[in-house]
Amino acid sequence: MKTDLSANDIQQIARGFSSARILLTGVELNIFTLLSEEPLPAVEVVDRLKSDLRATTIFLDALTAMDLLIKKNGAYRTDPALLPLLTTESEESILPGLRHSAHLWKTWSHLTDVVLEGGPAKREEEDRGDRVSSFIGAMHIISSRAAPDIVKAISPENARALIDVGGASGSYTIEFLKTVPGLRATLFDLPDVIPMARERLTEQGLIDRVSLVPGDFNEDNLPGGHDLAFLSAIIHQNSPGQNLALYKNVYNALAPGGRVIVRDYAMSVDRVQPASGALFAVNMLVNTESGNSYTFEEIQGGLEEARFERVKLLQESGMYSLVEGFKPPLGR
C-alpha cells in the first residue's frame, strides 16, 4: 500500500515524544493535583516542588499551551474540565495509567539497544511495589470501562464456576459476578496482587463469592472444577511455549465441556494489522523476555494442541478480540 506520509508528517512522528514527556513529567510531579484547588504563580509552585524557577516556568507554560493548564494573570491552575481525570482523589482519575506510561518510558528509551542486542530492556533501579501498583491501577481503569461490553459478548449466563487467570484487581471478575448472580469465581494472580483484588471485591460486596488464590500461572497448577476460564491480556506476556503450557494448565482446571475465553490481540497473518497490535508487540519486546502480539492462527493452534476444540474468533476488536474454545465433554 502506497504511503501518504509527507516529510512534515514524519517529522511530527519524531517530535511526538515531546508532548508525551511534558505530560508524564506533570504526572510524576503531581502538578495537576497541586494546581487543582487554586491558581498559583510559578514562584509558589517552585516553593512547593523545591524546583528551579526558570525551568518550572517554561514547563508550566508548555502545559498551558497543551490545554492542560489555564494561565491567567501570571497564575496557573488545572483546567476544571480535566480535574476528574488528572487528580489523585477522583474516582475517574487516569493517573495510574499515566504513571504506568511513565514507567514504560524508561524501558522504551532503550529500544535501539534492544533491537541490536535483543530484549528485554535493562530496568533502572526502581521500587517494584510502585511499578506493580501503577500497572494494576492502570489495568483496573481500562478493564472497568471495557468489562461490560466484553462480558456481554462472552454471554456467560450458563456458567457456574469462573476462573479468572491473572485476574489482577478483579475488574472482569466483578462484572462476571454482577452479570450472573449464581456464579462463583476463583481469581488467580501473583501474591502481591491478591490484596488489591481483595480490597476491590470487598468494596463491591462480592468477596464472599470469590476464592482468591495466589500463585504464578507459569509455575503453579491452577485450581480445578471450573466451567469457564478467562485469560485477559495474558498471552502477550508469554512465549508460544509458555502459552501452550498455560493452555494445558487451563484445560486441566476446566470440567469436561468447559469453555475458555482468551482476550487479547488477534493479529493478521502478516502481523501488521491492527497497527496498535504491531506497536504493542514492541512494548512486549522491551518489557518481557519473550512476549509478542499473536495471530489468531497462532492462538488457535496453541489451544488445539492443548486439546481444546471448536476454537473460533468470537470477536475481532484490537486488544479486545476474543477467542473461544471448549474442553471436550465426557465420553469424547
Domain ranges for the chain, please list them: 7-87, 128-326
In the predicted structure, residue 85 carries a pLDDT above the cut 70: yes
C-alpha to C-alpha distance for 118 and 114, rounded to whole angstroms: 5
Confidence of residue 53 (pLDDT cuts 50, 70, 90): very high
Look at the domain 128-326 and name its fold.
Answer: Rossmann fold (3.40.50)
Q: How distant is the alpha carbon of residue 116 from its chain centre? A: 27
pLDDT band at 142 (very low <50, low <70, confident <90, very high): confident
Q: What pLDDT, on a 0 to 100 scale, did the predictor assign at position 233?
A: 95
- Residue 129 pLDDT greater than 60, yes or no: no
Residue 210: DSSP 8-state? E
Confidence of residue 303 (pLDDT cuts 50, 70, 90): very high
Residue bearing the bigger pLDDT, 141 or 232: 232
Three-point CA angle 121, 219, 326, nearest 5°: 105
| pLDDT value at residue 315 | 97
**Mean pLDDT value of segment 245-261:** 98
Confidence at residue 290, expressed as pLDDT on a 0 to 100 scale: 96
The set of cell numbers assigned to 26 is: 506533570
- pLDDT (0 to 100) of residue 289: 95
pLDDT of 86 over the 90 cut: yes
Tell me the angle at which helices 95-108 and 275-287 cross, rounded to the nearest 10 degrees.
70
Mean pLDDT of the chain: 94
Residues 193-249 pLDDT 10s: 999 999 999 999 999 999 999 999 999 999 999 999 999 999 999 999 999 999 999
Give residue 128's pLDDT.
56
Least confident stretch, 36-50, 136-150, 208-222, 234-248: 136-150
**Residue 95 and residue 27 in contact, taking contact as beta carbons nearer than 8 Å:** yes
E-assigned strand segments in 136-264: 161-165, 184-189, 210-214, 226-232, 254-264
Q: What is the pLDDT of residue 90?
A: 84
Pick the CATH number of 7-87 from 1.25.40.10, 1.10.10.10, 1.20.58.220, 1.20.58.1880: 1.10.10.10
What pLDDT was estimated at residue 92?
Answer: 86
Q: Which pTM was predicted?
A: 0.89
- Reduced to 3 states (helix: H, G, I; strand: E, B; else coil), residue 115 is helix
pLDDT tier at 141 (50, 70, 90 boundaries)? confident
